[in-house]
Amino acid sequence: MSDLKASFDDAVANSKTLSERPDNLTLLKIYSLYKQATEGDNEEAKPGFTDIVARAKWDAWKKLEGTSADDAMQQYIDLIAELRAG
């Protein structure tokens, strides 16, 4: 396992024990970076406008299209470290 992947896995575990719940925009960023890092570009069908939460998640992930898995992992690691530092 690469050092980056190990650090990413640690950050994922740490994201579940944050002292405060992040705001919704930050949660979307965490979600989209995780999806981009683990699944790559968003190829899922676009949700309808009536499903606001699913649409927000889809849009956030779609914005990362073209971002490499390694770059998404590093951004995720950095974001979780920033949130843990307070």
User: Is the Cβ–Cβ distance between 76 and 6 less than 8 Å?
Assistant: no
The rounded mean pLDDT for the chain is 97
pLDDT at position 20: 94
Q: What pLDDT, in 10s, does the model give residues 47-82?
A: 998 999 999 999 999 999 999 999 999 999 999 999
3-85: CATH topology is: Acyl-CoA Binding Protein (1.20.80)
pLDDT digits (tens, 9 = 90+) for 10-58: 999 999 999 999 999 999 999 999 999 999 999 999 999 899 999 999 9
> What does the pLDDT read at residue 59?
98
Written in H, E and C, the secondary structure of 28-56 is: HHHHHHHHHHHHCCCCCCCCCCCCHHHHH
Confidence check: pLDDT of 1 > 90:
no
28, 60 contact by CB (below 8 A):
yes
Rounded to a whole number of angstroms, the CA Rg of the chain reads: 13
User: Domain limits of the chain?
Assistant: 3-85
The pair of three-digit structure tokens given for residue 73, joined into one six-digit string = 């992992």
